[in-house]
Structure formats: C-alpha cells, structure tokens
Structure 1
Amino acid sequence: MPAHPVRHIAVMGVSGCGKSTVSQLLSIEVGAAFSDADDHHPAANIDKMTRGMALDDADRVPWLHTLGEWVADHDRLGSCTVLACSALRHSYRDQLRSAVPTLVFVHLCGSRETISARLAGRAGHFMPSRLLDSQLSSLEPLGADEAGVTIDLDHPPTELVRRIVDALSLPRKVST
C-alpha cells in the first residue's frame, strides 16, 4: 500500500493478461483518464511486433518516454490516470516513475496456460501469441522497492477491478 493517495496507476503484465480491459474498467470506476500504451507505439514498433519480432530496449525507450509524459501532463493538470502498459522490466517502470514518481503499478499475473488461452481467443491485435514466451522471459515481477500490488488475473474483469480498488484503497467515482 503506497504512503500517498493514489492518483496514477499503471496496470502491467504480459500481452493477453487483460491490461486494457481492466484498465478501462478501473478508470471508469475511479473517474480517471485512461490510455492504452499500445496506442502510443510508433509505427516501426508495431511493424516489428506484427512480424513476430520482440522489441528491444532501444525500441522501448522513446515509447516509455512518451507514456511518462502522458501521465506527467495529466499530473500537472491535477487529473488522475490509469495506463495499460506492459512495463515488464524494473528499468521500464523506473523510466515511467522518473516522469511521475508517485506512479503505482498493478501487476496482472497468471499462468502461461491461462494467458496463452486468452491470446488464442483474441482477434485483431498486432501482438502475435508466439511472442508470449519472450514477454514471460523478460517479465520482472514488482520488487519490494516498488509501489504496487500483484493481482491474480484468474477472475472476471469486474472482480479484478474490485480487488484493485480494495488493495489500493481507491475512492470510487460518485455517480450523479
């Protein structure tokens, strides 16, 4: 549990773990701006992944900078954010936190089998399922020095949102 009120959340994990769906629902639940990191990839990154090639750190650095700036811009405006972003490595999360040090991470974690089954049922996404093993080998779970929580993804999205809200003691948006 972070020592400050949570204003910025990055929902992280490998492709197919449910980041986008959970992040969208969470942003609605808490009244925060939402963005999907996939929407910020330059065309060269999307092309590379579409061809089944994993991104390297050189591909990710400018992308992570753009994401950090998106959160920082909202922070300057006083608004809260939820970002769906793989953030697989500690160094990537450090780069995002360099823009907004209070960014909190929610790691959606599950078995390879569960995630693989989800990827097999997903259509229309540029990330091929054959890159799952590459992502799993790159994944560094949240460290003890990182603000955030790990949530087992083996639940429906609405239940995952409830667990995140409870774990982070987030205020729910008041309906009008």
Structure 2
Amino acid sequence: MILILMGVCGCGKSSVGQALAKDLECSFVDADDLHPETNKDKMSRGVPLTDDDRLPWLRAVNREMNRLHTPGSSVVVACSALKASYRHILVSNLDQDDSHTRSHSGVQQDSETISVSSDICFVHLDGSFELIASRMSTRHDHFMPTSLLQSQFAALERPTHPERFITVDVSPGVDETVRSIRSQLRALAHAQAVL
C-alpha cells in the first residue's frame, strides 16, 4: 500500500510520516526533497508556486513512490497534494497518462476520476490555521516561511469521494497521530472487506 500523507505546510507530514514508516517498517519519501532548487528558492522568498512549478515535482514524486513500491510492501509519502488535480497526477500511471496531465495552465483538472485503487490511500493531516501557524513559527530549518501558510489553506481542496482517504486531527502529538492513522486504516480495510 502507498500512504500519501497530505496537507498544508506545517501540519506534520514529515515527522508523522517518518514515525509511521518506522512503525510499519517501510520506505519513506519526503516530497520536499524532490523539489527542484528553483521551487525551493521561490518558496524561501515567500513566493507561492504555480501549477507549472509543481508539475515536474509531482511527476518526480509519483515516480519515486512507484519505484519503491512492490507488491505486498508499503511506502509512506509526505506530500502536500493540496488540490485534487495534484492528487490525480500522484496516482496516475505517467507512461499511459502523459497526455492527460497537462493543460494550458500546467496541471489539468479533467473529467477523469481520481484512482480509488486499494493500493493508494491519502491521509489528510488536518488542523486549524492557528495551530499550524504556531507550530511553523518554531521551525527554523525549512524553506517554507509562515507567510505562505494562508496561500496553502486557500489552495487546499479537501479529499472527497471517489478518492480513497482518511482525515486525521493533528492536534495530538506525533505518536497519537500515528495511532489514529493506523486505527482508521484498519477500519477502512474492514469496511471495504464487508462491501
């Protein structure tokens, strides 16, 4: 299974993702590491990325998580994946869908539905603006400044059906958040098994 931990900057994707991957004894991918330097430079200057900036990054994340994923194994991916169109790219087979991933504005939101594969589940790490802003204010080793948080919340499109997802409150600490993720994933698997 591929678990994509999504949400705005500062919601805990990297710290929760690393803890979850350790708990599951599986590979971890931090999408921030795959940003080209031009993207990191823009964000460090407080300039929001455009869809054209994000497209090659999202494709790189897709390729890396699929490179690491093998049948019967798990991969945990930390990636903001704020819009449905971005999540579509993450779950696409790029070799087959190259013609469906671009539009004149960069990232296409087309009529195709997002994958509901049982091999991929989005984990939306959810928290209030105030909570996440307070956490971001204590970070000093990240290229994303707190000033961009408002644009992240404005861009966020919460996952909906037919996407396969769970939503987890990030108010508790990392360990409790990981326990909540695992509990919700068990419930989701049970619900699908009885359908």
Structures share fold, TM-score greater than 0.5 = yes
Which consecutive aligned stretches of 4+ in structure 1 deviate over 4 angstroms post-superposition? none
Equivalent position of 1:64 in the other structure: 58
- Identity across the alignment (%): 44
Q: Which has the larger radius of gyration?
A: 2
Q: CA deviation at 1:103?
A: 1.8
Aligned residues of 2:29 and 2:65 also touching (Cα < 8 A): no
1:32 and 1:76 map into 2 onto residues whose CA distance is 11
Q: Does 1:45 align with 2:62?
A: no
2:133 and 2:154 map into 1 onto residues whose CA distance is 14
2:150 and 2:39 map into 1 onto residues whose CA distance is 18
Q: Relative contact order (alpha carbons < 8 A, sep ≥ 6): 1 or 2 greater? A: 1
Q: CA deviation at 1:141?
A: 0.4
**Residue type of the alignment partner of 2:50:** D
Equivalent position of 2:155 in the other structure: 138
Q: Does 1:105 align with 2:122?
A: yes
After superposition, where does 1:52-91 map in structure 2 within 5 Å?
Answer: 52-76=46-70, 79-91=73-85
Q: Could you say what the CA RMSD is over the residues aligned between the two structures, in angstroms?
A: 1.7
Number of equivalenced pairs: 165
Consecutive unaligned residues of structure 2, counting only runs of 5 or more, are 94-114, 188-195
Q: Secondary structure at the match of 1:11?
A: strand
Q: Secondary structure at the match of 1:149?
A: strand
Consecutive unaligned residues of structure 1, counting only runs of 5 or more, are 1-6, 171-176
Q: Does 1:8 align with 2:2?
A: yes
Q: Does 1:27 align with 2:9?
A: no
**Residue type of the alignment partner of 1:46:** K
Q: Give the TM-score normalised by structure 2.
A: 0.81
